Amino acid sequence: GENVEQHPSTLSVQEGDSAVIKCTYSDSASNYFPWYKQELGKRPQLIIDIRSNVGEKKDQRIAVTLNKTAKHFSLHITETQPEDSAVYFCAASKAGGGADGLTFGKGTHLIIQP
Amino acid sequence: GAVVSQHPSWVICKSGTSVKIECRSLDFQATTMFWYRQFPKQSLMLMATSNEGSKATYEQGVEKDKFLINHASLTLSTLTVTSAHPEDSSFYICSAKSPRNRNQPQHFGDGTRLSIL
């Protein structure tokens, strides 16, 4: 089955700086890669996703890049703010994210230092 | 937008009790729902895929007789943790997706925090 590795497990950055979280996946058939933000005790919230036919996607301060050849994808957050502090999960699935469940990375605890 | 409701949000019960968790899609029909489990400070792990009108598909290592899944309608899937023990204490989260648009992401419920004493 699919295996998703995520690094780092903890990331501390100064407010205003950029944060980058990286993930690799093992199944070349995976074609959907979402990123979720989870605050303590709450459900994961989708912040951005990318499909395998696209190399990069951006939404305001958040961007995701995908390298299918290397089987890795990254989350980039620019101009970080205190409210960005949370646990971030990458995930992968096949069939457009619908027919197959998501395989999650282990998560990155992002800490924004004021 | 699409909403998934999960109930109860929190349950505490004695060891040996069976606990049922409901997952409802409120404004769309979901032929497929997913059940995940999340232990404290860990990631979400897919337990099973719930298919309306047919048997659920369980991930490797998940006991189907322990975690009973019923998806009797297009808007409701239930997960029953049978004879729960302290090691079953976890955060259980369901998700669903509208089959009408395969490009739409999954929508997660608010989760159920299960504590077995």
pLDDT by residue (tens digit) across A63-113?
999 999 999 999 999 999 999 999 999 999 986 544 578 999 999 999 999
Specify which residues B116 forms β-bridges with. Answer: B13
Place of tokens 């419920």: B109
CB contact under 8 A, B45 and A106: no
Diameter of chain A measured on Cα atoms: 42
Sign of CA dihedral A101, B110, B21, B88: positive
Bond into B105 cis (ω within 30): no
Q: How close does chain B come to A103, measured CA to CA in Å? A: 7
Q: What is the mean pLDDT of residues B66-93?
A: 94
Number of separate helices (H) and strands (E) present in chain B = 0, 11
Residue of chain A with shortest Cα separation from B5: A43
Residue of chain B with shortest Cα separation from A31: B103
Q: Which of B34, B44, B103 sits opposite A44 (nearest CB)?
A: B44
Distance CA A105, CA A5 (A): 5
